[in-house]
Structure 1
Amino acid sequence: MNTKQELINKLQKDILLWQGFKPQVPGAAEAIGLGEIELAFPNGVFPKKAIHEFISVLPEQSAASDGFIGAVLSILMKDGAACVWISTARKLFPVSLRLFNVDPERIIFIDVTREKDALWVAEEAIKCDGLAAVVVELSELSLIESRRLQLAVEETGVTGFILRKDATKQASNVATARWKITPVPSETEEEMPGVGFPRWKVELTKVRNGNPGNWILEWAGDRFVEVQDQQKTLWYDKEERQIG
């Protein structure tokens, strides 16, 4: 049985390499605080040297994707690195990123008129290894274009986020993960007025050599929280220790 499982594991790693994705060696990278979601990825590690595609069908899903990516950026940028955000019709209000502990002054927003230019800028930005991440908003992404972006992130280690806001133009590409983020009602603290922390239904519809699934996550001010049966499960405290 062990021999069979070892063979399957080896084949999975070989397939990743053939497809151009180099999985992290266990223990070589730290968890970023996504809890059980990270276990869906090969070796249980969120892939930073990879392209992540976010599909938004409705405007509220697009806004939710912006927020979720912002929360992830707060973790990826914690060491002071910058990020580039490219768009042809950006609706994100930069100051809103402060809700996710992201300093908007550390994000370089580049607005262009053509998607062809956005794609070119994204590829060139990814080649700058001093960045933590590059976010680009596109309607479509071809196999060849995604392959070029994947080769670039493998070279520099910069994480690439593709925000796809036209679900009718989905095409085969080499994105390591395909996400769908949908807002869900927040919950306020007892007897406390106002709006609760942002919550999302997080769906991983595609994980290369991983395990798709869906979860309910909340951004609790400085970390992700998984919501189960209306109860909150804190995954990591500031010292990156798992807690209950």
Structure 2
Amino acid sequence: MHSSGQQSRLAALRAVIADIERKPALLERRAGFEPEADGGFPALGGGLVQEVFTDAARNGGASLAFALGQGQALLTARRPALLYLQLIGDEQFFGLPYGPGLWGFGFDPARLVMVRAQDMAELLWATEEALACTAAAAIVTDIGGAPGPLDFTASRRLGLRAVESGTSLFLLRYGRARAPSAAHLRWHLSPRASGSGAFDRRAPGAWRWQVRLERGARIKHRGEWLLEWTENGFATLPVRSGQPQRRRDGAALSGAVPAALADRLSQTA
């Protein structure tokens, strides 16, 4: 016959187990990634932590666009905002999201909330707290290189918070180093030459990225996609095409000539 002390401990243990079972399972989120049947880039749901690596900081704009492209698809009436977190002072090195550029990307700048933090510890704290905000569809945090405070334990805490809240987190990182992380997905991103312009085939067109899945928990598929941005989101292009080359028409110019300001507009307009 159990003593009253043993019965109390058993009751407390059952309560702990019941509380764990009520929380969303981390592995269920990790197992939900599969490529589209036609090989296209998949539409990823919320509650994932995604590391987006690019080799050089100058590609930060491409990484941000990749994160915003996914985050925009997660916006709903109940989750109408995206949060962008950055260290104070980094705007002079990495730059800031540009409102008219966001409009051109099909993203309403009014939906983007910007947060500045004093140091990396404060930035990670703000990221974890932001993940609990049920009005946010996604959080984008500009991390930079390999900061000490973002260790495996810290990334594990972020992953658990993301799964529990259903809010996605994109960690923008730069360089070739890969520290241990509990992120659900890790991408390597490279910007590619844009497609042709709609009215001038020699002018820049839609944005393009090449992304490779470096790591994903419990994911057998290691995919690589060449993506192009359209008004309906990401379109997948054949990877074998490599870096798209812009079409060149006509003979080489004999010298410097003034460029037209825009299609069908006078240079003196």
User: What TM-score comes out, normalization by structure 1 length?
Assistant: 0.73
**2:41 maps to 1:37:** yes
- Any idea what SS the aligned residue of 2:28 has? coil
**Which residue of 99, 102, 119 corresponds with 2:104?**
99
On the 8 A contact 2:195/2:205 being kept in 1, the answer is: yes
* Distance apart, 1:175 and its partner CA: 0.5
* Larger displacement relative to structure 2 (91-100 or 208-217): 91-100
**Which residue of 222, 226, 229 corresponds with 1:212?**
222
State how far apart, in whole Å, the 2-side matches of 1:71 and 1:109 are.
17
User: What TM-score comes out, normalization by structure 2 length?
Assistant: 0.67
- Any idea what SS the aligned residue of 2:62 has? helix
Q: Which residue of 2 aligns with 1:118?
A: 123
**2:71 maps to 1:73:** yes
Q: Which residue of 2 aligns with 1:5?
A: none
Q: Which residue of 2 aligns with 1:41?
A: none
| Backbone CA RMSD of aligned residues | 2.9
Return closer, same or farther for 1:191/1:81 CA change in 2, 3 Å cut-off: closer
- Any idea what SS the aligned residue of 1:134 has? strand
**2:114 maps to 1:109:** yes
* Distance apart, 1:108 and its partner CA: 1.0
Q: Which residue of 1 aligns with 2:212?
A: 203
Q: Deviations over 1:181-200 (max 9, x none)?
A: 11111121576253210011
State how far apart, in whole Å, the 2-side matches of 1:108 and 1:218 are.
26
**Which residue of 131, 137, 142 corresponds with 2:142?**
137
On the 8 A contact 2:213/2:222 being kept in 1, the answer is: yes
Q: Which residue of 2 aligns with 1:49?
A: 47
State how far apart, in whole Å, the 2-side matches of 1:191 and 1:156 are.
44
Q: Deviations over 1:164-214 (max 9, x none)?
A: 12443x311110100111111112157625321001111111111111221
Q: Deviations over 1:114-161 (max 9, x none)?
A: 111110000000011221011111133211001111111111100011
- The one-letter amino acid of 1:159's match is S
- Any idea what SS the aligned residue of 1:205 has? strand
On the 8 A contact 1:197/1:221 being kept in 2, the answer is: no
- Any idea what SS the aligned residue of 1:36 has? coil
**Contiguous gaps of at least 5 residues in structure 1:** 1-16, 39-44, 231-244
- The one-letter amino acid of 1:52's match is Q
**Which residue of 38, 59, 69 corresponds with 1:61?**
59
Within a 5 Å distance, the mapping from 1:19-30 to structure 2 comes to 20-23=26-29
Return closer, same or farther for 1:20/1:185 CA change in 2, 3 Å cut-off: same
* Distance apart, 1:24 and its partner CA: 7.8
- Aligned length, in residue pairs: 202
Larger radius of gyration: 2
**2:237 maps to 1:227:** yes
